[in-house]
Amino acid sequence: MKKLLLASAAGALIAGTAGAEDIKLGISLGFTGPLESMAPDMGKGAELAMKEVTDSGLLLDGSTVSPVQGDSTCADAAAATATVERLITAEGVKGIIGGMCSGETIASLENVAKPNGIVMISPSATSPALSDLEDNGLFFRTSPSDARQGQVMADIIMSKDISSVAVTYTNNDYGKGLADSFQAAFEAAGGSVTVNAAHDDGKADYSAEVAALAAAGGDALVVAGYVDQGGSGVVRAALDTGAFDTFVFPDGMVGNQLVENFGSEIDGSFGQNPAAEGEGRDTYLKLAEEAGFDGSGAFSAEAYDAAALILLSMAAAKSSDPAAYKEKVMEIANEPGEQIMPGQLGKALEIINGGGEVDYVGATSVDLVGGGESAGVYREVGFTNGEMEVIGYR
């Protein structure tokens, strides 16, 4: 952006000769599969940003943006790869919002997006494995890496004077990545992990898994799972057999569903999830409501931000070519510049077209660090008297 300050009005005029085009953006999310309940609100979030930009008529001389949806299935890497392949080669998309789950994202990025040089911004893939991936500068994410969450979780547990915990994780890239990063952080802080065992989702009964965790012992149980899947099953079985009564819940578990399932049975437990707080989020929720969907759905705001980042970067690069605009993503997302909230994409485009700088804050307080992932503010929550309450932000 700094260099852009030097760009003159003449520069803008030259870019203007490029002419308007119809830019296609792919949305590759798990519309079927284990997270199918989250995908629709995420897709709508991304489409909302695209519509906003199209309506403003300010992107690359009034170019329009149209979404192309693809089903990444979340669980099936081969299907996700095929979907992204179709989006890129058949539909000719200029960028992709996706994938949804970490394993599938790695596969489609490595096999298709990277060879074709297409930018992917994932709203929800949080595995630490994605941080170190050689991505040619093509991959970004608007959600924080679980390595960061593991650190935050270890800090929170330590602050409660709990020094030994058992860990169970859902048997996939997300669960394993989070559990491992947590174990590393927790042990570095002087705590001990008695057991770090997987559980499979979709079982009827988790008493066997809980028996193993109970045998290993520990003062609390960290459940790195999904609230509408095995995670709740594990908590249920642990409560029923009296194996554990204090639980630590990472982002996949923290939600109203948890309180609905367990009420006051989990009093004294605590957890954390990525917290988008403040003005940006409130504005986004309102925008979503006007557009007729629920913006508070998990990762919906992140999807909006992913699409907005791609489009603003295109404006800054004065080109919809991924090879050009990928260089601009970090500049748009971070300071300095005028702060941009959801619903102000038109204003942002005006500033960019006028040669100014923007700092995209968006719905989730976007701030990209490292290889292009959200720094992540976490909200610490506790459970008392059957209610979930926010304790603070870390």
Partner 1 sequence: MDILNALVAFLNFVFIPAAAYGAQLALGALGVTLIYGILRFSNFAHGDTMAFGTAVTILATWGLQAMGVSLGPLPTALLALPFGIAATAAMVLLTDQAVYRFYRVKKSAPIILVMASVGVMFLMNGITRLLIGVDEQRFADGTRFVIDVRTFKAMTGLQEGLALKTTQVLTVVVALLVVWALFWFLNRTKSGKAMRAYSDNEDLALLSGIDPEKVVRMTWIIAASLATIAGVLYGLDKAFKPFNYFQILLPIFAAAIVGGLGNPLGAIAGGFVVAFSEVAITYPWLKVARYLFPGWQPEGLLQLLGTEYKFAVSFVILIAVLLFKPTGLFRGKSV
> Which residues of this protein are in contact with partner 1, per CB under 8 A?
171, 195, 197-200, 202-205, 207-209, 211-212, 214-217, 228, 233, 240-242
**Does residue 111 contact residue 89 with C-beta atoms inside 8 Å?**
no
Supply the minimum distance, in Å, between the C-beta of residue 205 and partner 1. Answer: 4
- State how far Cα 43 lies from the chain centre: 13
Q: How far is the CB of 230 from partner 1 (least distance, A)?
A: 10
Residue in this structure with the two tokens 């960061």, named with its chain if needed? 148
CB of 241 to partner 1, least distance (A): 5
**Which CB, 7 or 198, lies closer to partner 1?**
198
Cβ contact 245:268 at 8 Å: yes
Nearer to partner 1, 15 or 195 (CB): 195
Shortest distance, position 340 Cβ to partner 1, whole Å: 39
* Least Å from the CB of residue 33 to partner 1: 11
Q: Which is nearer to partner 1, 156 or 214 (CB)?
A: 214
Spell out the residues 6+ positions from residue 93 whose beta carbon is closer than 8 angstroms to its own.
24, 25, 26, 68, 87, 118
The closest of 169, 171, 172, 201 to 182, measured between CA atoms, is: 169
Which one, 110 or 201, has the nearer CB to partner 1? 201
Which residues lie closer than 8 Å to 383 by C-beta, 6 or more apart? 259, 266, 267, 268, 269, 270, 389
Cβ 204 to partner 1 shortest distance, Å: 4
Shortest CB 237 distance to partner 1, Å: 9
Identity of the residue, 297 or 376, whose beta carbon is nearer to partner 1 in the bound complex: 297
The amino acid at 317: A
> Residue 97: what are its φ and ψ, rounded to 5°?
-95, 110
**CA dihedral angle for residue 319, residue 321, residue 323, residue 324, rounded to 10 degrees:** 0
Query: Which of 273, 280, 277, 278 lies closest to 359 in space, CA to CA?
Result: 280
Closer to partner 1 at the Cβ: 244 or 383?
Answer: 244
**Nearest to partner 1 of 208, 390 (CB atom):** 208
Whole-angstrom Cα distance, residue 379 to residue 192?
24
The CA distance from 207 to 224, in Å, is: 17
Which residue, 37 or 89, is less far from partner 1 as judged by CB? 37
Using CA atoms, how far residue 319 sits from 37, 55, 68, 280, in Å, is 35, 19, 20, 27
Among 203, 248, 212, which residue's Cα sits nearest to residue 230? 203
